[in-house]
Chain A
């Protein structure tokens, strides 16, 4: 049975339609006008238990809105959603015990106290007895490489240490579904890697299902065999990252260095000529013909050096979003 199932999920917000300036403010005050803005439309997908799924999309694409519908924080305007067999918007206790939400830009730890104090509160919230809580804290702290930091006031921790403590607090009740909204936001490269390997380990050890959004493509490539790409509220891709790359970029770039310059017409038989600078050539070759073309290039032309480049996924997604500018 699927752990997460969204069917035709949609969310429309009513926003005030106000002209700028004092006159606009007054007019709005007298005669309020609203506009319906669809934030998410007709999104369907399902996630199996134990899957790690990356949620991609530019700012304002509807990622957070979708996450909030999946956790029950906002009610869908249309469609239905089911998580661990529950309807999230009813926020039943048994549902809340199975999930967690981690937000990279918001924190639940008590600012003036060491994380351990917040953890004690959370243990009581979830009805975990002290011995069991101690054991879980020890296990998770070890996985997160947290030690003395748990006894220092949160306000004195670095961003990376704080995020790790946040993760500990969010996972003390051992949820089976994790929703992570930008869990590595603002962290340095090392801390990002630590959080990443922790999430992978948590998934492996407890068989938990993870759905995470991130701006850092490294998070997605390292953690998520499957990605959902959402753009302007609609789901544009559901599959592996490699499939997404192929869909967005059906061609590979072949860079050649020749022994001597050749006329441009020579290259038409191998691919599309992108650039020709004396002995340096750049060709675009369709993926399915790549092997054959490379073999022929090496056999038929005086090649000194040959390199095949995969276009970086960030750039491809960036191009996609630029092609269809947000409203």
Chain B
């Protein structure tokens, strides 16, 4: 591939090809935009129900909760842009046996399988998420300092990598089970819990969303960092969990490939 420049050139080719392919189906754009806006309206409505009666949501104000919702919308947009199309393609590769072509390319297979396709229809979600975050932060009246913003960015990137790792591991199990597409849908549905601050949930769910499905690290911790209300241990834990998950996804892929190369026919 020839170092970072080669990788960048390849990524550019990957994405210009997949954008061209997506343009063959123009109606998708409208549908996807509608679905993002519909989802958002639903979430905003539910949020407003909580706050109308003066409840606070587990210690979060309306504006602060908007930041959480914004981060969720952003991550969901990224899911539609990169995770869903690529990891869907991985499942198809396994079903059709075309994974062989990927494995015979002089390119890291995890790189290829994670980034080959980009779908523009998730980008409205990303944009709406960013706007929501900005509005929430400004209205909450605690604009972050420049270092604070940088740290929040790092935590957000970590959250995205964590989400990616979960998806990738799940998609990689298709090497054994072939049909895992429903499992990723379940994951996506579970992550909907990340729309609201984690402290808004009952204690039992809070434990589940922190330690089993790390929803807390996906949206709540980044939002806290952005709002300057994060504790240092939470931020560190967020970074650590993301790092571990990424490493685990790598090891799991190597393990899956070892199985594939010894058992497939």
Given A89-B261, A112-B24, A125-B1, also A99-B17 (CB < 8 A): no
Which residues of the partner chain A approach B101 to less than 8 Å between Cβ atoms?
101, 106, 108
A169 to B, closest residue via Cβ = B101
Q: Is the CB of A124 within 8 A of B10?
A: yes
Which residues of the partner chain A approach B107 to less than 8 Å between Cβ atoms?
125
Q: Is the CB of A121 within 8 A of B261?
A: no
Given A117-B20, A118-B17, also A101-B100 (CB < 8 A): yes
The CA of A72 and the CA of B100, in the complex, are separated in Å by 10
Would you give the shortest CB distance from B103 to chain A, in whole angstroms? 6
Candidates A64, A93, A99, A121; contact of B13 at CB < 8 Å:
A121
Which chain A residues numbered 83 to 97 have a C-beta less than 8 Å away from chain B?
Answer: 89, 91, 93, 96-97
Residue interface bits B143-185, CB-to-A below 8 A is 1, else 0: 0000000000000000000000000000000000000000000
Q: Is the CB of B98 within 8 A of A107?
A: yes
Would you give the shortest CB distance from B117 to chain A, in whole angstroms? 10
Q: Does B104 contact A (CB under 8 A)?
A: yes
Would you give the shortest CB distance from B210 to chain A, in whole angstroms? 34
Which residues of the partner chain B approach A71 to less than 8 Å between Cβ atoms?
100, 104
Given A14-B263, A113-B17, A117-B17, also A125-B104 (CB < 8 A): no
Q: Is the CB of A125 within 8 A of B105?
A: yes
Would you give the shortest CB distance from B158 to chain A, in whole angstroms? 29
Kindly count the residue-residue contacts between A and B in the assembled complex, taking CB atoms under 8 Å apart: 81
Which chain B residues numbered 83 to 119 have a C-beta less than 8 Å away from chain A?
Answer: 96-98, 100-101, 103-107
Q: Is the CB of A106 within 8 A of B100?
A: yes
Q: Does A126 contact B (CB under 8 A)?
A: yes
Using C-beta atoms within 8 Å of the partner chain, give the interface range for chain A.
Answer: 35 or more
Q: Does A194 contact B (CB under 8 A)?
A: no
The CA of A127 and the CA of B6, in the complex, are separated in Å by 7
The CA of A65 and the CA of B100, in the complex, are separated in Å by 13
Q: Is the CB of A108 within 8 A of B21?
A: no
Given A65-B265, A127-B1, also A93-B100 (CB < 8 A): no
Candidates B2, B14, B24, B264; contact of A127 at CB < 8 Å:
B2
Q: Is the CB of A120 within 8 A of B100?
A: no
Q: Is the CB of A153 within 8 A of B24?
A: yes
B109 to A, closest residue via Cβ = A91
Residue interface bits B6-27, CB-to-A below 8 A is 1, else 0: 1001101110010011001000
A71 to B, closest residue via Cβ = B104
Which residues of the partner chain B approach A72 to less than 8 Å between Cβ atoms?
104, 261
The CA of A99 and the CA of B106, in the complex, are separated in Å by 10
Rank and list the top 8 A-B pairs by shortest CB-CB distance, nearest first: A108-B101, A96-B106, A124-B13, A124-B10, A93-B106, A112-B21, A127-B2, A121-B13
Binding site for B on A (CB under 8 A): 13-14, 39, 64-65, 68, 71-75, 89, 91, 93, 96-97, 99-101, 103, 106-108, 110-113, 117-118, 120-121, 123-127, 153
Binding site for A on B (CB under 8 A): 1-2, 6, 9-10, 12-14, 17, 20-21, 24, 96-98, 100-101, 103-107, 261-265
27 pairs, A vs B, C-beta closer than 8 Å: A13-B263, A14-B263, A65-B265, A72-B261, A73-B100, A73-B103, A73-B261, A96-B106, A97-B106, A100-B104, A101-B104, A103-B97, A106-B97, A106-B101, A108-B98, A110-B21, A113-B24, A117-B17, A117-B21, A121-B10, A121-B17, A124-B9, A124-B10, A124-B12, A125-B10, A127-B2, A153-B24
Query: Other than the known A39-B265, A111-B21, what 14 A-B pairs have Cβ atoms closer than 8 Å?
Result: A68-B100, A72-B104, A72-B261, A74-B261, A89-B261, A91-B103, A96-B104, A96-B106, A97-B106, A106-B97, A107-B98, A113-B24, A121-B10, A124-B13
